[in-house]
A and B are shown apart, each in its own frame.
Chain A
Amino acid sequence: MLKVSELTAGYGRTTILQNVSIEIGKGEVVTIIGANGAGKTTLLRAISGLVKPSAGSIEFDGEEIAGASPADIVGRGLIMVPEARQLFPVMTVRDNVMMGCYHANAREGSAARFEEVLEIFPRVRERLDQLAGSLSGGEQQMVAIARGLMAKPRLLMLDEPSLGLAPIIVQQMFGIVERICAMGTTVLLVEQKAFHALKIAQRAYVIENGRIAMENTGVGLLADPHIKTAYLGI
């Protein structure tokens, strides 16, 4: 479904990603793990069109999207839930979630989808008329994911959903991600919390210093000695 080839990208004159290649098949759950600053977020931003790559290609459903506008990419069903939630703080939770289906391609059936999404996130339903900025970190993360789901994603990209959340909430978060995967959505999960991510992923990549350092199944990487030392602190 998604094929990234030899992607090089960065900000201004600083190159962050170098010759990155990854592949995600329909229905798969793939995770990318790496340390702070390794380039995970830059990769997602390049795929969603926020950052224009300087070289390489990104194919979605067989069509080239590198350099396309974010709006165009959203229209194809390639949706990102950004790092640190990025909600609209002075809008209600309802308005935030509804912004998810702003794009013309996502408007159809929005009422029904709204109900579906609230099924997964009962806490969000409770807080519909509150200002998004007043919610706790975990609740905000749920609103962000709900917002992402409203866009009828064919591929959903999650950028560090567990960032800054208390351990118990983190467990909940990964539970929800598993549920979304079970619903059949293709998921690309980018995480620093290697252990949790590798447990739920079918396949995984390790990104270090802007390059893909390793590729394997989730279980395979969990057993890898290098991963154990560097990312699991053993």
Chain B
Amino acid sequence: MTAHSTTAAPVALAKPSRLTALTHPRVYVALALLSLLLIIPALSHSPFVVHVFVTICVFAGLSTAWNIVGGYAGQLSLGHMMFYGIGAYTTALLIQHFGLTPWIGMWAGAALSAVVAVCIGYPCFRLRGPFFSLATIAFLEVVRLLAIHFHGVTGGSAGLIVPLKPGWAWMIFTEKFNYLIIAFGLLLLTLVVSWAIRNARLGYYLTAVREREDAASAAGISPTEVKLKAVIVSAALTSLIGSFHAMYTTFLEPATMFSLATSIEVAMFALIGGLGTVVGPLLGTVLVVPIAELARGWLGSSANGLHGFVYGTVLVLITLTLPGGLVGTFGATVGRWIDRLPGGKPRPEPEAPALRQITGLAGETMLETKNLVMRFGGLVATDNVSMVLKRGEILGIIGPNGAGKTTLFNQISGFLKPSSGSVAVVSGAKETTPASADAFARAGVGRTFQIVQPFGKLTVIENIMIGAFMRHPDVASARAVALRVSSLVGLHHVREVEARNLPIGDLKRLEVARTLATEPEILLLDEVMAGQSQADTQKMVELIRAVRDSGVTVIAIEHNMQAIMSLSDRIIVIDSGKVIAEGDPQAVVRDRRVIEAYLGEDFANAQGL
């Protein structure tokens, strides 16, 4: 998240928090500027100006709604006008065939759009970047062609005229300004929804999923669920605006209602203003649309293609020069100016809720694998591994590189499905095998990654909050918990630094912090000491002991023999996917097989072992 939006989120304290948000300078400045969208046309007495502002509101709304999927979730949908068209046609047809007022019809359209969005999103979200975009383009084209084909229903290419019944009930006015009021209202709705998402858990989750899906899963987030929520909201909002715009333009045809060019424009405004920010899409629209409309007005038909050419060129130039858009590039500076206005002082930090108590008998089984096998093609990465994890212990896993330690971790945290054998998380008398990585996390199994996976653009505290959100959906509580964890691991002094600016030692600790914030019962640590100085390693060892003393059971993969020997109650040695030794650290290190496999025959001879 850019600094702009981070501090733009007024920290919600206790219950009456939302209203105190109005006193924050960013909020009242924004509202004041927004009201200009109504004031300027009202003062101008020109229908043309009103038309331009209606267009601005409509496209800003569309762009803001699109941004929820394209910016927040990072899935570049280039077929979003599908929902616009569905909203438009549904509303128009409901008036035509059932005499249903558009005020209700638009919600029917929104519901239909949401359903379509889920049907498309669910299978397509797993597609990477450009392939997702291609799929959305394909869907848009299919819908457009079907709309033309079924011309009996939709009027086909000849078009459909909206029934023109004047009055508020039918959304047809002679006084153009009334259209602007509705358009403005819809824009306000999209902005509020967008802002609300951004500053709630869903917004953080979307950012996490967008940056690193695996790390997000490890924090208990289901990427598909989160993206589906985003797309439902986005589709519904887009559809509502489509319904309104149909009533405004009064003429519907598939080419304009399901237009790929418009889909691209809407995305473009968001990019120009700042992808993934609340006000970016609005800014982009406000900047570009008036120029285009004016050009169209002055140059008329001789400008055929000119405004499209300008759009395309601007888009290419923006990607080359200002990929963060206006807000991304200038937002931090402008935000600081605004914060100097009255009301911009930071709020006091709230108190953290109590730590979840971990109950259970020491020594009882917490995790059990039976005959675990993992095959990759012809390679057997895990060969019949059976192990038991007992509550309250620190279990060390050692072995040569490539032996299959991380593969084992992946299977006991849900990132890999074993080829055969079972993994069970034991809670009291119940044994469960969670179905996905995020399910494992929610079941209390937290893990770190060997190659750290920080959410680079989020600050340290926000990174930790992603973990805290699993048990504390409220932003304020999550933040409080995150603050406590940051102190525990020694990152409190850098809590507002963006993660991508941290050195490797701090990133390792951040990884552990984020996992700790999910309040796990089992903690899987994958080479957390690697690459750290002696001093840092010692601190990490103390931290792990403190974590165990608070009731968490730990499994650690390590190469640092000194550390693992001093920490572990028990050690398992893995070589070529098999467990070759297990037991007390001192005994394991003297085991012949371990020496041969890991430490080296020559080395053993040299040491006289």
By a beta-carbon cutoff of 8 Å, the part of chain A in contact with chain B is: 12-16, 35-39, 137, 163-167, 170, 192-193, 195-196, 199, 208-209, 229-230, 232-234
Contacts and interface: CB of A to CB of B under 8 A. Distances in A.
A209 B533 contact: yes
B401 A233 contact: no
Given A164-B402, A234-B607, A37 B530 contact: yes
A14 B533 CA distance: 16
A35 B504 contact: no
Contact of B602 (A12, A165, A166, A196): A196
Interface residues of B, number: 32
Interface of B: 400-402, 500-505, 507, 527, 530-534, 536, 559-562, 576, 589, 596-597, 599-603, 606-607
A38 B531 contact: yes
B560 A35 contact: yes
B596 A167 contact: yes
B603 A232 contact: yes
A163 B530 contact: no
A163 B401 CA distance: 7
Contact of B530 (A36, A137, A193, A229): A36
B603 A16 contact: no
A13 B456 CA distance: 11
Given A14-B500, A209-B536, A230-B562, 8 more contacts: A14-B502, A137-B402, A164-B401, A195-B603, A196-B600, A196-B602, A208-B534, A233-B562
B530 A35 contact: yes
A-B pairs, 7 with minimum CB distance: A37-B531, A164-B402, A233-B561, A36-B530, A37-B530, A209-B533, A195-B603
A156 B534 CA distance: 31
Contacts, number: 66
Most buried by B among A167, A209, A230, A233: A233
Nearest to B596: A167
Nearest to A211: B533
Contacts of B504: 14, 16, 37
Tell me what chain A mostly uses at the interface: helix, strand, loop, or mixed: loop
Contacts of B507: 14
A193 B600 contact: yes
A86 to B, nearest CB: 15
Contacts of B602: 195-196, 199
B533 A208 contact: yes
A166 B599 contact: no
Nearest to B597: A167
Contacts of A193: 600
A101 to B, nearest CB: 30
Contact of B532 (A163, A209, A229): A209
Contacts of B536: 209
A70 to B, nearest CB: 23
B531 A36 contact: yes
Contacts of A12: 500
27 contacts: A13-B500, A14-B501, A14-B503, A14-B507, A35-B531, A35-B559, A36-B527, A36-B530, A36-B531, A36-B559, A37-B530, A38-B531, A163-B401, A165-B402, A166-B576, A192-B401, A195-B602, A195-B606, A196-B602, A208-B533, A209-B505, A209-B531, A209-B533, A230-B560, A233-B561, A233-B562, A233-B599
